[in-house]
A and B are shown apart, each in its own frame.
Chain A
Amino acid sequence: DAGVTQSPTHLIKTRGQHVTLRCSPISGHKSVSWYQQVLGQGPQFIFQYYEKEERGRGNFPDRFSARQFPNYSSELNVNALLLGDSALYLCASRLRDRTYEQYFGPGTRLTVT
């Protein structure tokens, strides 16, 4: 079975631009979470979605938004990019809302110049 997939692998954007990151969970998994990992730090929770509804939001500005589609894939959108948004963005899927085990994708490396 395929694991969690994320696209693109890398991308470079300019300050002020908008970016969309995509995540496909493991087949059958209904919950997707997004994390931001700045270089040299641990991942920080951004969002969790379950059955297309937002179930949790971390301490991130409104420039960050996300959604989950009927096929349980998810998009993370970031508007008005800042240099500080440069990070590895990780997606994790889980079978149900409150199951403990999360399976992570390989991440998208975003560089803002």
Chain B
Amino acid sequence: AQTVTQSQPEMSVQEAETVTLSCTYDTSESNYYLFWYKQPPSRQMILVIRQEAYKQQNATENRFSVNFQKAAKSFSLKISDSQLGDTAMYFCAFMKLGDTSGSRLTFGEGTQLTVNP
């Protein structure tokens, strides 16, 4: 079974600054995806960024980037130029590939990020 751990229940950052959210995971699988999802107060879960485990290059989506350390099983999210709209709960998630188990997402406990003006 896979586990995902987010050790920072809450974080805050000033607008326009950079913040990094941490995530570690445990798995014996070799083929998997990792994701960061954002859940604002509206409750809609929104995909922020994904990383394929077989890719060494870290994924980047505009102001969002990840630091994927496969050997250390670490997957952190960096948000640059933070905006007030980034205020949300952020979840790290794992998806195993290549079987018929339903390709389920395993989520961490979440990190509440507050961007202050």
| A and B co-occur in one complex | yes
Question: Which residues in A have some Cβ–Cβ distance to B below 8 Å?
Answer: 33, 35, 41-45, 47-48, 55-58, 88, 90, 92, 97-98, 100-107, 109
Report the nearest A residue to B91, measured CB to CB.
A42
A33 and B104 contact, Cβ closer than 8 Å, known pairs A41-B110, A100-B33: yes
Report the nearest B residue to A94, measured CB to CB.
B103
Report the nearest B residue to A35, measured CB to CB.
B105
Report how many residues on chain B are interfacial, defined by Cβ distance under 8 Å.
25
Q: Which residues of B are found within 8 Å of A43, using beta-carbon distances? A: 45, 91, 105, 107
Q: How far is the CA of A39 from the CA of B102 in the complex (A)?
A: 25
A-B contact pairs, 10 of them (CB 8 A): A42-B109, A43-B45, A44-B107, A45-B104, A47-B102, A88-B43, A98-B103, A104-B45, A107-B43, A109-B43
Residue from B45, B97, B100, B102 within 8 A of A45 (CB atoms): B102
The 0/1 profile, CB within 8 Å of A marked 1, for residues 5-27 of chain B is: 00000000000000000000000
Report the nearest B residue to A50, measured CB to CB.
B102
Question: Which residues in B have some Cβ–Cβ distance to A below 8 Å?
Answer: 4, 33, 42-47, 50, 91, 93, 95, 97-98, 100-110
Most A CB contacts (10 A, CB to CB) among B42, B105, B108, B110 go to B105
Could you tell me if A45 and B47 are in contact, using CB atoms closer than 8 angstroms? no
Q: Which residues of B are found within 8 Å of A33, using beta-carbon distances? A: 102, 104-105
Q: How far is the CA of A41 from the CA of B5 in the complex (A)?
A: 12
A42 and B103 contact, Cβ closer than 8 Å, known pairs A100-B50, A107-B43: no
Could you tell me if A98 and B97 are in contact, using CB atoms closer than 8 angstroms? yes
